[in-house]
Amino acid sequence: MEKKRLKYVAITIALLLLGHVVLGLTGLRAFILAVLVDGGAHPVYLLVRELRDDRPDVRTFTVSAIAKIGKDAIPSLLRALRSGDARQREGAAEALGAMGNWQAIPGREDLMPELKRVAIDPLVEALNDKDAIVRVRAALALWQIERKERQIVPILLGAVDDENSYVKYYAYDGLRRMQEQGIKTLTEIAEDENSPLRNKARMVKRDLQLQRWWGLGRFLETS
């Protein structure tokens, strides 16, 4: 197994050195790294660097590969949450959240306790990030790990009217994924006369109900 892993690592390094520019332009670099993870290699540092790329296909390969690595990738992701690059901070939060979904897979039972032990505080800190999409991703990651709607819903509510359609989409999508738990929390906020988010919670609750008829993407295009 060790020889096989070394072989994969050697191939990775050779490919990255030989075709760095071309691979970067086509997104093949992230794909190759993801394939190597499937083969047993753990090129965590290289994968975390790929989180700076905001192309959807590259991000999908990268986040999925990091989630598969599991605990060994967590320290690098926590460092990336403090990166000066907003896209890398966003990707790190997304990958930590993805690990929260992976924890139910047999053989990964130890992943969630580790996430709760070391990732919660950094993600809570990221809720105050200056970049709106980082705040949204951190909120979604916290929900995927802890399922505490009362903590997360106000953060997402603050982003549903963001001028960036990407931020707006993921804020609405996060609230939609919470399903009945999210609706319940929105109702509590809407009925709280002292909450500054009361009117927005009422509006978003109505919007989510409309989305059951129109679909999330079509609704956002017309809102």
Residue 81 has a pLDDT of 94
Grouping H, G, I as helix, E, B as strand and the rest as coil, residue 185 is: helix
Count of Cβ atoms closer than 10 Å to residue 193 Cβ: 5
The predicted pLDDT at position 23 comes to 45
User: Residue 101: is its pLDDT beyond 90?
Assistant: no
> Quick check: 39 pLDDT over 70?
no
Domain residue ranges of the chain, discontinuous segments joined by +: 162-223
Per-residue pLDDT at 88: 93
Across residues 144-172, what is the average pLDDT?
A: 85
Question: Which of these, 184, 141, 98, lies nearest to 155 by C-alpha position?
Answer: 141
Q: What's the count of helices (H) and strands (E) in the chain, helices before strands?
A: 15, 0
pLDDT at residue 52 in the model: 87
Instruction: Provide the token pair at 153.
Output: 């819903």
Band of the pLDDT at 26, cuts 50, 70, 90? very low
pLDDT tens track for 56-85: 777 887 888 888 888 888 999 999 999 999
* 192-206 per-position pLDDT tens digit: 999 999 898 998 888
Which pLDDT score, from 0 to 100, does residue 138 have?
93
- pLDDT for 156 beyond 80: yes
Give the position of tokens 């990707």: 91
| CA separation for the pair 175, 196 (Å, rounded) | 18
Residue 25 has pLDDT above 50, yes or no: no
More confident residue, 94 or 221: 94
